[in-house]
Amino acid sequence: MVTPVLRTMIRKPNSVGLITTTGGNDLTHVLGTNRSGVTRTAIIRKILCYNNTGGPVTLQFGTRDFAAVPNFVQYLPDLVAQNTLDNIWTEVDIPAVEFSVQLLPLVLGREGNIYLLASAALALVTLEVDEFGS
């Protein structure tokens, strides 16, 4: 018999606030810590993007890998933000991928914080995340 595990969750906006994409690795959420100093984990529940760049913008969410040179490691599938529209993805549209700092530095040298790699600069993006940990 499988026993469900209940975890304390806090739903909150991303820690960085409104992000204006640069076309490079943009930090979108830094994982917080609990009262004991243990780093929380997070799942993206909502993505809001306003694109007024003149064409569609591909958004890739992931983290960074410091094995040799800092590289972007994509965790979510590509999302395409259409021009001049409010693009909204909710938890129904987003895979439940958990970003974690706890184990990733030990495995593959990954950072764990949430980064965004956009195909164009000047799109506006904000997130809503669930952070886990008590």
pLDDT digit string (tens) for 70-124?
Answer: 688 899 999 999 999 899 999 999 999 998 875 555 556 677 789 999 999 999 9
Higher pLDDT, 21 or 109: 21
Tokens representing 34 are 């609990």
**Confidence at residue 133, expressed as pLDDT on a 0 to 100 scale:** 73
- Dist. CA 47–CA 4, nearest whole Å: 28
pLDDT digit string (tens) for 25-68?
Answer: 999 998 877 777 677 789 999 999 999 999 999 999 998 887 66
CATH architecture of the region 10-132: Sandwich (2.60)
- 13 pLDDT band, cuts 50/70/90, is confident
Q: Model's pTM, two decimal places?
A: 0.85
- SS3 assignment for the chain: CCCCCCCCEEEEECCCCCEECCCCEEEEECCCECCCCCECEEEEEEEEEEECCCCCEEEEEEEEECCCCCEEEECCCCEEECCCEEEEECCCCCCCCEEECCCCCCCCCECCCEEEEECCCCCEEEEEEEEECC
- 12 pLDDT band, cuts 50/70/90, is confident
